[in-house]
């Protein structure tokens, strides 16, 4: 009797286990469309090479034929996507995120359907500009479905530049449709618009002017644009310019132009006092301010 109870208990546990297993099995349509690993011909390295050359390079070389648009932004939240059929590569999925040089990030793109041999390539730049290859990943972490090959992952990756990055989700070996995926990232920070290390909500100048030198209305003063406390000297000058522009009615140009000159002069007086700039540099800024066409109104 005791043995029967133990046997019943074991059977119950086994049934529970089988049930759990069943829940994780995905629909059979996907299973049927999957090509087992051993049936994929050729060496994967060659496949990858040909994929990269024939698809990605071709796509990027024929930019006019391709719609270069972003599918979405990566901003710390997990993102899901799907390539439904063979037309997928007419519209490669591009995602963007902003990063600072030295940021340490991770990107993991597990498949959500058994047929997708997911892979990704990371570029610096945007789809509207030049894309500079940074890194790529393919078979790193075994997929949850026992599908073909493995899923891509990069961990503890140090971003080499500050600016916008573009992540392209693509396949490596073709294993079947649909091709679903999830993008899981860490270390991507969407709250520092000007990449100066200060979070937007704590940054007095969330869109700092980061030029190397102070440029006023197109006139390069040649004076170093010092960055301090989340802002730059150009930010402080721009604040004054914005205030002056706000007061412009269309017939008070000379009054405001003089006021601008006097306000900036007060600011640069303190910069000299604090030894941030020299007297010569102060006069270069004054000259640029005087030559500038400020105030102005947009469209005038």
Select from 17-25, 65-73, 97-105, 189-197 the region that touches Ca ion (CB under 5 A). Answer: 189-197
Q: Give the shortest CB-214-to-Ca ion separation in angstroms.
A: 16
Q: In this structure, what token pair is assigned to residue 160?
A: 């080499």
For Ca ion, the closer of residues 139 and 203 by Cβ is: 203
Tell me how far the alpha carbon of residue 6 is from its chain's centroid: 56
**Residue in the structure block whose two tokens are 């500079």:** 132
Q: Give the shortest CB-293-to-Ca ion separation in angstroms.
A: 26
How many Å apart are CA 170 and CA 193, to the nearest integer? Answer: 28
Q: In the stretch 201-230, what mask flags binding to Ca ion with x, by CB under 5 A?
A: --x-x--x---------------------x
Q: Give the shortest CB-123-to-Ca ion separation in angstroms.
A: 23
Q: In this structure, what token pair is assigned to residue 122?
A: 């990371």
Q: Which residues lie below 8 Å from residue 127, measured CB to CB, with a gap of 6+? A: 68, 69, 70, 94, 96, 166
* Number of residues this chain uses to bind Ca ion (CB under 5 A): 8
For Ca ion, the closer of residues 103 and 196 by Cβ is: 196
For Ca ion, the closer of residues 76 and 146 by Cβ is: 76
Residue with nearest beta carbon to Ca ion: 208
Report how far apart, in Å, the C-alpha atoms of 228 and of each of 38, 208, 235, 284 are: 60, 11, 10, 21
Residue of 103, 117, 196, 236 interacting with Ca ion (CB under 5 A): 196
3-state secondary structure of 177: coil
For Ca ion, the closer of residues 162 and 208 by Cβ is: 208
Q: Buried b / exposed e across 107-136, counting CB within 10 Å, b at 16+? A: bbbbbbbbbbbbbbbbbbbbbeeebeebeb
Q: In what order do the strands lie in the sheet with 70-73?
A: 70-73, 93-99, 163-171, 118-124, 132-137
For Ca ion, the closer of residues 113 and 208 by Cβ is: 208
Element (H, E) at 44: helix 44-51
For Ca ion, the closer of residues 103 and 203 by Cβ is: 203
Does 103 participate in binding Ca ion (rule CB under 5 A)? Answer: no
DSSP structure class, residue 205: S
Residue of 194, 277, 288, 295 interacting with Ca ion (CB under 5 A): 194
Does 192 participate in binding Ca ion (rule CB under 5 A)? Answer: yes
Does 236 participate in binding Ca ion (rule CB under 5 A)? Answer: no
- Can you give the binding site for Ca ion, defined by CB under 5 A? 192, 194, 196, 198, 203, 205, 208, 230
């Amino acid at each position: 009797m005791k043995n029967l109870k133990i046997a019943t208990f074991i059977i119950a546990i086994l049934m529970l286990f089988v049930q759990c297993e069943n829940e994780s099995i995905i629909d059979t349509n996907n299973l049927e469309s999957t090509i087992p690993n051993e049936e994929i011909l050729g060496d994967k390295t060659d496949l990858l090479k040909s994929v990269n050359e024939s698809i990605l390079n071709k796509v990027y070389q024929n930019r006019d034929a391709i719609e270069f648009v972003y599918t979405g932004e990566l901003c710390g939240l997990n993102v899901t996507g799907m390539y439904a059929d063979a037309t997928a590569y007419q519209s490669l999925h591009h995602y963007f995120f902003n990063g600072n040089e030295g940021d340490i990030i991770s990107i993991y793109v597990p498949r959500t359907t058994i047929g997708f041999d997911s892979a990704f390539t990371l570029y610096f730049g945007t789809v509207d500009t030049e894309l500079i290859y940074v890194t790529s990943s393919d078979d790193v972490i075994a997929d949850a479905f026992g599908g073909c090959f493995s899923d891509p992952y990069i961990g503890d990756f140090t971003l080499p530049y500050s600016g916008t990055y573009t992540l392209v989700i693509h396949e490596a070996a073709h294993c079947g449709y649909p091709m679903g995926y999830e993008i899981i990232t860490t270390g991507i920070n969407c709250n520092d618009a000007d990449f100066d290390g200060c979070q937007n909500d704590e940054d007095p100048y969330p869109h700092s002017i980061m030029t190397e030198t102070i440029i006023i209305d197109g006139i390069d003063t040649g004076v170093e644009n010092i960055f301090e406390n989340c802002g730059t000297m150009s930010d402080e000058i721009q604040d004054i310019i914005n205030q002056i522009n706000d007061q412009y009615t269309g017939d008070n140009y000379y009054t405001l132009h003089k006021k601008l000159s006097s306000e900036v002069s007060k600011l640069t007086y303190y910069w000299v006092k604090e030894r941030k700039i020299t007297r010569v540099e102060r006069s270069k800024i004054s000259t640029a301010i005087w030559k500038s066409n400020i105030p102005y109104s947009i469209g005038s």
